């Protein structure tokens, strides 16, 4: 059975204020063309269809058009909600749309109810695990306490229990939106947990033949049966070296996996350049970046005047300007976003405490209170998001 694995479309997202609507449309054109040309039997979309819980009209129309085109081809598609999506909104009319072969899996209560496919070798059960926010789903999954590992383990236990009751030889595929240990992150992914508890071990997915993962934006293989497709477009300069793609996955009669990458169209390549402004403007080493979206890091000892305007004479698509003077600290300390980039919520708060209270490390009780407070805020935010989706 031939499956097309993709994720993290983030419809409605921009890139440093550059509108990506037409680039996202081009990707969806490419996806539909690939489905038709490759004889794909099902499309798997592992979460973050939209970039935010309340997507704009343009993004909704683009998604609607994609669903219509897949339904016209008669190719089933299985979607799960990601941490950027509103599960309730994405799942609106799911039971009706299901009849057209478009399966929206957004309800944690139905995660062990598979979409059943079949080929000449027999049945394939496709389980969709929507993004599971621990604070919201623990009770439904019978988990007394714990984070992402515990709730996802409970979800996979339910999947394995259902699979055990299926005919012998049934192949199993699962979609999940999670941060699996060993995956490489980029700057454009939203932190999904407090501190380091967001990651889950790969062993959670034991017992299935293929796990189509979403959340991390780089295409990567953690094991032959465990892969991230990554996002179809770059959403941060940390992805400048990514080759964006989808996985074309083939399951044989025994469930063994063969996979190859299908590259996605690139609206404009990215470049990260660094040096003194006069060198950047004159040196032929940087000529390759003239037509790219550019992140420029200036290393001049003193911040040059009108730097962005001057850079855009040679690099008209410069979108981000950073300043890191040679041989010293950043002259202005950088923006707050730059200084906390890559840090978890816990690290940001602990860094703030260390800044305002130098010389006094957090005591054990203080650290526990801090984590309790962060978890309380996360639960409240998740509850408000769920309430607004009703």
pLDDT of 305-349, one tens digit each? 999 999 999 999 999 999 999 875 544 445 556 666 667 777 787
Q: What is the pTM of this model?
A: 0.83
pLDDT of residue 199: 86
Residue 339: the pLDDT is: 66
User: What average pLDDT does the segment 363-370 reach?
Assistant: 76
Sign of the dihedral defined by the CA atoms of residues 205, 230, 32, 63, in that order: positive
Exposure of 51 in the CB half-sphere (CA atoms within 13 A): 18
Q: Please state, as a whole number, how many other Cβ atoms lie within 10 Å of the Cβ of residue 78.
A: 24
* Amino acid 196: pLDDT: 42
104, β-bridge pairs = 79
In angstroms, rounded to a whole number, what is the distance separating the alpha carbons of residues 4 and 43?
5
Pairing of strands 318-323, 293-298: parallel
pLDDT score for 84: 95
Pairwise CA distance, residues 204 & 223, whole Å? 13
Name the percent of the chain lying above pLDDT 70: 90
pLDDT at site 260: 97
pLDDT 10s digits, 120-160: 999 999 999 999 999 899 999 999 888 899 999 999 999 99
Q: Which two tokens stand for residue 377?
A: 């805020």
Dihedral of alpha carbons 23, 25, 28, 34, sign: negative
Mean pLDDT check: name the lowest of 31-45, 217-231, 351-365: 351-365
Question: If DSSP codes are grouped into helix, strand and coil, which group holds residue 303?
Answer: coil
**Average pLDDT in the 267-290 region?**
97
Residue 15 · residue 235 · CB < 8 Å: yes
For residues 247 and 226, give the distance between their C-alpha atoms in angstroms, rounded to a whole number. Answer: 11
Residues near 365 by beta carbon (within 8 Å), at least 6 away in sequence: none
Q: Looking at residue 197, what is its pLDDT?
A: 53
């Amino acid at each position: 059975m031939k499956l097309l694995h993709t994720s993290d479309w983030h419809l409605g997202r921009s890139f440093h204020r550059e509108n990506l609507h037409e680039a996202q449309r081009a990707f969806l054109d490419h996806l539909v063309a690939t489905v038709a040309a490759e004889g794909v039997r099902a499309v798997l979309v592992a979460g973050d269809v939209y970039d935010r819980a309340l997507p704009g009209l343009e993004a909704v129309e683009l998604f609607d058009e994609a669903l219509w085109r897949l339904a016209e081809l008669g190719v089933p598609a299985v979607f799960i909600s990601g941490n950027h999506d509103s599960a309730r909104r994405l799942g609106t009319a799911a039971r009706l749309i299901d009849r057209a072969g478009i399966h929206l899996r957004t309800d944690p209560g139905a995660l062990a109810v598979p979409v059943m496919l079949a080929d000449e070798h027999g049945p394939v059960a496709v389980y969709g695990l929507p993004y599971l926010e621990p604070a919201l789903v623990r009770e439904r999954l019978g988990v007394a306490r714990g984070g992402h590992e515990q709730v996802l383990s409970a979800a996979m236990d339910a999947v394995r229990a259902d699979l055990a009751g299926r005919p012998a030889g049934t192949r199993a595929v699962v979609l999940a939106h999670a941060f699996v240990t060993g995956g490489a992150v980029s700057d454009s992914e939203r932190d999904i947990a407090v501190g380091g508890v967001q990651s889950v071990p790969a062993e959670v997915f034991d017992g299935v033949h293929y796990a189509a993962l979403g959340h991390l934006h780089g295409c990567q293989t953690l094991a032959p049966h465990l892969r991230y497709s990554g996002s179809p477009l770059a959403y941060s300069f940390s992805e400048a070296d990514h080759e964006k793609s989808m996985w074309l996955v083939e399951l044989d009669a025994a469930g063994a996996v063969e996979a190859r990458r299908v590259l996605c169209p690139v609206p404009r390549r990215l470049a990260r350049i660094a040096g003194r402004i006069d060198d950047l403007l004159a040196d032929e080493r940087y000529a390759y970046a003239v037509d790219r979206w550019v992140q420029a890091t200036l290393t001049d000892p003193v911040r040059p005047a009108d730097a962005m305007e001057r850079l855009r004479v040679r690099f008209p698509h410069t979108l981000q300007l950073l300043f890191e003077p040679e041989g010293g600290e950043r002259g202005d300390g950088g923006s707050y976003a730059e200084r906390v980039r890559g840090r978890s919520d816990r690290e940001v708060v602990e860094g703030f405490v260390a800044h305002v209270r130098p010389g006094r490390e957090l005591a054990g009780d203080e650290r526990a209170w801090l984590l309790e407070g962060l978890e309380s805020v996360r639960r409240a935010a998740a509850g408000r998001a769920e309430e607004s989706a009703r």
